[in-house]
């Protein structure tokens, strides 16, 4: 008999067992594909298929629902679930390859999607890497939010402790554990928040090349308060997630680039090109404009002339209307400046295009 036939028989037997074993009062089901419930799971088991995960939940009287990862085979059993009638997708987190399945009425509602660092070890951790700092625990602290995301079942946004330089130090940072539209799966470590109306992180600010934090207490949430965290010089990454908020709407884009830290990439002022198009950079702000004759995009973007009045950006794109021998007259980015053709030099985060466009935004920089 072929392998496929064995699997079909197995799945049929599992379904028969499930229907026989489940009391009629619980004879209902709710399933959502590419979604999971952000909750403090009871335990994780590994299943060879979806139906085995269903049985594991069905055999545990405390289990109301489960999250099944079709890619890894991990099955997170949840005591929490959705209330009837199911509002479903609005209460679930989107993630490709996940399956949420509720097999019983929910006696407990999911906790709010936030966690305090003081209770970091009480979040159904499956790895010591998610523990908060204490005596002789520095070596067990994660290096980033991505490490917490990979080694535990924590899928709630909030503040967590991670390692920081110099050695034996630690920092409390905001971790975006749920997916960010435009950037992908969770595990993002906050590095900076920049208010385009202020000069704290203007292009020539020393904060772009030193190891001095700014307003660390503001780095434990996404509130509109500026911050620079030790993750700027301590956290290695392979991707960035950049966001700009304007008029209560936030747009995000992802940038692929590897570095031992953001300071290592930006601090020396050397231009480093990336591969984002003009169209991608413009996605950060609705109705943003930029010239398309010649552009420089990436880290420490500046034109070849490097005039003090030209557009410049620590992270972003600058452009001229014709060729690369002109001074840049437009920009979109973080840590920006330039006054050529009536650009606003005080706009440290946002969009400037000569005297045609000026948008001061609130910016977010995450690494992963």
Predicted local distance difference test score (pLDDT) of residue 22: 40
CA separation for the pair 213, 304 (Å, rounded): 32
166: number of Cβ within 10 Å: 9
Predicted local distance difference test score (pLDDT) of residue 51: 86
CA separation for the pair 177, 158 (Å, rounded): 8
What is the 3-state secondary structure of 196-248?
CCCCCCCCCCHHHCCCCCECHHHHHCCCCCCEECCHHHHCCEEEEEEEEEECC
Structure tokens at 225: 């308060």
Q: Which residues of the chain have pLDDT under 70?
A: 1-28, 39-41, 85-91, 93-96, 108-140, 153-154, 167-168
The reported pTM is: 0.69
Predicted local distance difference test score (pLDDT) of residue 86: 57
CA separation for the pair 292, 351 (Å, rounded): 14
- Which residue is it, tokens 């001229």? 320
In DSSP terms, 73 is beta-bridged to: none
CA separation for the pair 279, 277 (Å, rounded): 5
313 and 331 Cβ atoms separated by less than 8 Å: yes
> How confident is the model over 61-78, as pLDDT tens digits?
889 999 888 877 878 888
Predicted local distance difference test score (pLDDT) of residue 67: 87
> How confident is the model over 159-181, as pLDDT tens digits?
888 888 876 678 889 999 888 99
């Amino acid at each position: 008999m072929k392998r496929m036939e064995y699997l079909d028989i197995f799945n049929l037997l599992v379904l028969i067992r499930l229907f026989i074993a489940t009391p009629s009062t619980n004879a209902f089901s709710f399933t959502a594909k590419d979604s999971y419930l952000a909750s403090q799971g009871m335990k994780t088991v590994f299943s060879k298929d979806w139906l085995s995960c269903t049985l594991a939940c069905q055999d545990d009287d405390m289990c109301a629902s489960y999250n099944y990862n079709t890619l890894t085979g991990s099955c997170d059993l949840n005591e929490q679930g959705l209330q009837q009638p199911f509002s479903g997708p609005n209460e679930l987190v989107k993630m490709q390859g996940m399956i949420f399945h509720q097999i019983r009425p929910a006696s407990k509602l999911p906790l709010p999607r936030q966690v305090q660092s003081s209770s970091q070890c009480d979040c159904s951790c499956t790895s010591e890497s998610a523990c908060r700092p204490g005596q002789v625990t520095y070596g067990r602290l994660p290096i980033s939010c991505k490490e917490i995301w990979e080694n535990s079942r924590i899928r709630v946004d909030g503040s967590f402790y991670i390692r920081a330089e110099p050695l034996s130090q630690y920092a409390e940072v905001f971790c975006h554990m749920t997916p960010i539209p435009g950037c992908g799966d969770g595990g993002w470590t906050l590095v900076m928040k920049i208010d385009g109306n202020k000069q704290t992180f203007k292009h020539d600010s020393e904060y772009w090349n030193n190891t001095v934090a700014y307003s660390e207490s503001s780095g434990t949430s996404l509130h509109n308060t500026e911050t620079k965290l030790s993750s700027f010089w301590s956290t290695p990454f392979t991707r960035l997630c950049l966001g700009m908020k304007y008029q209560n709407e936030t747009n995000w884009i992802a940038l692929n680039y590897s570095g031992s830290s953001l300071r290592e990439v930006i601090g020396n002022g050397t231009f480093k090109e990336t591969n984002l198009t003009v169209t991608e950079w413009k996605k950060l702000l609705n109705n943003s404009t930029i010239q398309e004759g010649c552009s420089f995009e990436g880290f420490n973007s500046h034109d070849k002339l490097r005039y003090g009045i030209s557009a410049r950006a620590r992270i972003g794109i600058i452009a001229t209307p014709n060729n690369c021998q002109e001074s840049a007259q437009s920009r979109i980015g973080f840590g920006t400046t330039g006054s050529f053709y009536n650009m606003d030099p005080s706009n440290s985060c946002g969009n400037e295009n000569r005297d045609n466009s000026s948008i001061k935004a609130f910016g977010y920089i995450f690494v992963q």
